[in-house]
Chains A and B, each alone.
Chain A
Amino acid sequence: MVNALLTGANASTEVPLKRRLRRAERTRQVKALVLVLPLLVFLLFTFAGPIAGMLWRSVEDREVRQVLPQTVAALASWDGTDLPDENAYAALASDILAARAAGTIAIAAKRLNYALNGFRTILTSTARNLKAVPERGTARETLGKINPAWRERTTWTTIKDASGPVTGFYLLAALDLVRNADGTIVAAPPDQAIYRDIFARTFLISISVTALCLILGFPVAYLLATLPPARSNLLMIFVLLPFWTSLLVRTCAWIVLLQSKGVVNDSLHWLGIIDEPLRLIYNRFGVCVAMTHVLLPFMILPLYSSMKAISPAYMRAAASLGAPPLAAFLRIYLPQTLPGIGAGSLLVFILALGYYITPALVGGAADQMISYFIALYTTETANWGLASALGAVLLLATLLLALVYGKLVQGRQVTGGMKN
């Protein structure tokens, strides 16, 4: 009886309590959401939106669809084994005439020329020489006469492949791959296969810069974390100084320092160490030096914060337990800075991957990183599809790295990296 009363009481109080808790939590969540809403909306429009747009552009394929709609429709049922039927030729002829009237031939010509070199000429010559809609049943003959390319299957498969609405063409191109006439994916011809090399170069430069930053930044961070506050604050200002100067100014300063008539070469020459000026800039050396300088704070700050959290008592404890300084450093200090090393390296590496201005200014032709080509395709040649595809590949590589880092850090936390 008493038991029943008790459980009854429990049951009646438990539910409202949970509901009350939920309500309280919900109010808190709503408040938090309202606080971050402006930033969220801002990011949505300026970050998530453009990235989604970029990813979409890397697979979107609508130029040919737009300019040659009847041809695309006629080719939809074509199996691609032989030349298409008369209907397709008639549709093409009518599309070309319409496009010529609308002045949109160039749009399709540009897109088709990416896939097949010389397509621009085929299309524009056809447009120029096609006087009127061919008589019924003579379209194939007429077009074939204007340009023999229309008698080749490849010409038509190129149009069919480019008829969209989505394509893997740009993404494949970004990886030096093409789809051949049979539809299988093969390596691009050597004269077009440049992006893998550029990606490799980008990664190589980024890794070199990260390693340099780590080697140079570690002792500085250690000094910052161990000096008395007054002096470490001064040192911190020197570390942060690059942050307060424009990237362009810093890069140009390196040009002044490193060029063949620059400060470094002149000093070395004056000291009699060299006779001929050293080539310090417009090559890989200059790129690495300038990028390391710019990115160093991004390595030092995470290292510093992880080192600041390491109590000097650990090193004292290690010494009192009999560890010589080097062993104490390697076995006690270094492992505790690993999260900082990881965070700093990841930050520097990812920032370096996307570097554009510095290599463009102080690098030679063989030192341009992937961002340079993305910029090139975006602003110069307006090949947005390829620019987006290169960006997408870069984004994917970066995300993979971040994911690996996240897993590593999480693994450490699960096994307990807590400090007392």
Chain B
Amino acid sequence: MEAGMVTAAPALVRFSGIQKTYDGEHLVVKNLDLDIRKGEFITLLGPSGSGKTTTLMMLAGFEVPTLGEIYLADRPIKNVPPHKRDIGMVFQNYALFPHLTIAENIAFPLSVRKSSKAETQERVRAALRMIKMETLAHRRPGQLSGGQQQRVALARALVFNPQLVLMDEPLGALDKRLREQMQLEIKQLHEAMGITIVYVTHDQSEALTMSDRIAVFNDGIVQQIDRPDALYEHPVNSFVAHFIGENNVLAGTVETVERDYCRVALAGGGTVTARAVNVSGAGASTSLSVRPERVAIVPDGSASEGPNRLPAKVQNTIYLGDHALAVLDVAGNGEFMVKLQSGAHESLKHGSLRPGETVFITFRPEDCLALDPV
């Protein structure tokens, strides 16, 4: 239902056949087609050098596409200079003007638009109220903490009601606790104001927390665009499976394919049934992806006999408070993680798995994805 509503919204931004190269040899962005819907929070996620920031900079107007066109509200903007695009932007290091006060910083986009003095004052006051910093209006950026500077940068990018707000790793410089708090604040602002936000980050948990949709970038190509849960549950290839969330990889060869499922012989010995997501057919090599929380550890000689039952050697256990991780050696993968919920598996819980002990793991075929080989 909700997903249906989002799809119905018209595209505000359309990247059409965008390519970008800096040196004329390597494409930083290879053939990008991307629609950004009005009112959505879309995150461009990817490792550094994947082309996500370049994409954002092309949208902001600081980089020019080598090929292709970008449309903003159905208007081509390739030749529109940044200051005429009506796009608010929040920068990685805030880029607050050091010689202006907080109020002057926030007033800047209004004053360059020649807003009346009364209106400017009113909107600056409202923006300061929104970020709860009325009392700090006359401080300089250098006198504020990182989190406060970030709020000011946010207010400055929103105060002129741009049709689009871009954020380039805005929380990268903050510590973990503040970052999580700011994630929620930005999310709340987005929902309250109904603005369209394009957010760039390399932090997958940040992307999962905030986004309506996530575009996963790698090597200049959008690997997958989807809702956070769909990316996690149904990654289309090994890169996405590996980049989003924790993931165990087992290498193998496809033996038989039967409708949606396939039988895979593992390189380290053993055979499992997996969902055939991205395999070309029998005989092809594949990478299996299994999430740590979808794996169960059963004691030796257990009665349950599923299709996927593999012997494992305990390497280590890691205590993490709300849960524990068991590090196992499974079919040649010495870093196979299994998440142990506290309370569950009373007999096998953290502490009772001795290193060197042999146990068995099981997982359902639908939780095991056969993807392209890494």
Please determine whether B93 and A313 come into contact, CB atoms closer than 8 angstroms: yes
Please determine whether B95 and A316 come into contact, CB atoms closer than 8 angstroms: yes
Q: Does B129 make an interface contact (CB < 8 A)? A: no
Please determine whether A418 and B112 come into contact, CB atoms closer than 8 angstroms: no
Give the distance in Å from the alpha carbon of A327 to the alpha carbon of B109 in the complex.
Answer: 11
Q: Does A319 make an interface contact (CB < 8 A)? A: yes
Please determine whether B83 and A324 come into contact, CB atoms closer than 8 angstroms: yes
Q: Does B143 make an interface contact (CB < 8 A)? A: yes
The contact of A419 among B142, B143, B166, by CB within 8 Å, is B142
Q: Does B156 make an interface contact (CB < 8 A)? A: yes
| Distance to closest chain B CB from A17 (angstroms) | 30
The contact of A323 among B108, B139, B140, B149, by CB within 8 Å, is B108
Please determine whether A420 and B94 come into contact, CB atoms closer than 8 angstroms: yes
* 8 A/B residue pairs, CB under 8 Å, sorted by A: A313-B91, A320-B61, A320-B166, A323-B108, A324-B81, A324-B83, A336-B97, A420-B149
Please determine whether A321 and B156 come into contact, CB atoms closer than 8 angstroms: yes
Please determine whether A322 and B83 come into contact, CB atoms closer than 8 angstroms: yes
| Distance to closest chain A CB from B141 (angstroms) | 6
Give the distance in Å from the alpha carbon of A322 to the alpha carbon of B82 in the complex.
Answer: 7
Q: Does A121 make an interface contact (CB < 8 A)? A: no
What does DSSP make chain A's interface, helix, strand, loop or mixed? helix
| Distance to closest chain A CB from B108 (angstroms) | 6
Please determine whether B108 and A318 come into contact, CB atoms closer than 8 angstroms: yes
Q: Does A272 make an interface contact (CB < 8 A)? A: no
| Distance to closest chain A CB from B166 (angstroms) | 8
Q: Known interface pairs A316-B62, A317-B97, A322-B109. Does A416 touch B142 (Cβ–Cβ under 8 Å)?
A: yes
Q: Does B338 make an interface contact (CB < 8 A)? A: no
Question: What B residues does A320 contact at CB under 8 A?
Answer: 60-61, 82-83, 85, 87-89, 157, 166
Give the distance in Å from the alpha carbon of A415 to the alpha carbon of B142 in the complex.
Answer: 10
Q: Does B314 make an interface contact (CB < 8 A)? A: no
| Distance to closest chain A CB from B183 (angstroms) | 21
Please determine whether B93 and A311 come into contact, CB atoms closer than 8 angstroms: yes
Please determine whether A418 and B93 come into contact, CB atoms closer than 8 angstroms: no
| Distance to closest chain A CB from B281 (angstroms) | 49
Q: Which of A318-336 contact B (CB under 8 A)?
A: 318-325, 327-328, 331-332, 335-336
Q: Which of B312-353 contact A (CB under 8 A)?
A: none
CB-based nearest A residue for B60: A320
Give the distance in Å from the alpha carbon of A321 to the alpha carbon of B89 in the complex.
Answer: 7
Q: Does A47 make an interface contact (CB < 8 A)? A: no
Question: CB within 8 Å of B: which residues of A?
Answer: 311, 313-314, 316-325, 327-328, 331-332, 335-336, 415-420
Q: Does B99 make an interface contact (CB < 8 A)? A: yes
Task: In the A-B complex, list the 7 residue pairs whose CB atoms are closest, starting with the nearest.
Answer: A418-B142, A416-B140, A317-B95, A320-B89, A321-B109, A313-B95, A319-B82
Please determine whether B81 and A336 come into contact, CB atoms closer than 8 angstroms: no
| Distance to closest chain A CB from B178 (angstroms) | 15
Give the distance in Å from the alpha carbon of A416 to the alpha carbon of B113 in the complex.
Answer: 27
Question: What A residues does B94 contact at CB under 8 A?
Answer: 420
Question: What B residues does A415 contact at CB under 8 A?
Answer: 140
Question: CB within 8 Å of A: which residues of B?
Answer: 60-62, 81-89, 91-99, 108-109, 112-113, 139-143, 149, 156-157, 160, 166
Question: What A residues does B142 contact at CB under 8 A?
Answer: 416-420
Q: Known interface pairs A321-B88, A322-B113. Does A332 touch B97 (Cβ–Cβ under 8 Å)?
A: yes
Please determine whether A321 and B112 come into contact, CB atoms closer than 8 angstroms: yes
CB-based nearest B residue for A314: B95
Please determine whether A420 and B83 come into contact, CB atoms closer than 8 angstroms: no
Give the distance in Å from the alpha carbon of A420 to the alpha carbon of B150 in the complex.
Answer: 12
Please determine whether A418 and B98 come into contact, CB atoms closer than 8 angstroms: yes
| Distance to closest chain B CB from A126 (angstroms) | 71
Question: What A residues does B60 contact at CB under 8 A?
Answer: 316, 320
| Distance to closest chain A CB from B262 (angstroms) | 49
| Distance to closest chain A CB from B120 (angstroms) | 13
The contact of A322 among B95, B99, B140, B160, by CB within 8 Å, is B160
Give the distance in Å from the alpha carbon of A311 to the alpha carbon of B149 in the complex.
Answer: 16
CB-based nearest A residue for B143: A416
Question: What B residues does A418 contact at CB under 8 A?
Answer: 98, 140-143
Question: What B residues does A316 contact at CB under 8 A?
Answer: 60, 62, 82, 89, 91, 95
Give the distance in Å from the alpha carbon of A381 to the alpha carbon of B143 in the complex.
Answer: 60
The contact of B97 among A314, A325, A327, by CB within 8 Å, is A314
Give the distance in Å from the alpha carbon of A327 to the alpha carbon of B110 in the complex.
Answer: 13
Question: What A residues does B84 contact at CB under 8 A?
Answer: 322
Question: What B residues does A311 contact at CB under 8 A?
Answer: 93, 95
CB-based nearest A residue for B86: A322
Question: What A residues does B97 contact at CB under 8 A?
Answer: 314, 317-318, 332, 336
Question: What A residues does B85 contact at CB under 8 A?
Answer: 320
CB-based nearest A residue for B165: A320
| Distance to closest chain B CB from A417 (angstroms) | 6
Q: Known interface pairs A416-B139, A416-B143. Does A317 touch B149 (Cβ–Cβ under 8 Å)?
A: no
Please determine whether A321 and B160 come into contact, CB atoms closer than 8 angstroms: yes
Question: What A residues does B112 contact at CB under 8 A?
Answer: 318, 321-324, 327, 331
Question: What B residues does A327 contact at CB under 8 A?
Answer: 112
| Distance to closest chain B CB from A115 (angstroms) | 55
| Distance to closest chain A CB from B124 (angstroms) | 13
Q: Known interface pairs A317-B89, A317-B91. Does A323 touch B83 (Cβ–Cβ under 8 Å)?
A: yes
Please determine whether A336 and B62 come into contact, CB atoms closer than 8 angstroms: no
Give the distance in Å from the alpha carbon of A318 to the alpha carbon of B142 in the complex.
Answer: 18
Give the distance in Å from the alpha carbon of A128 to the alpha carbon of B279 in the complex.
Answer: 125
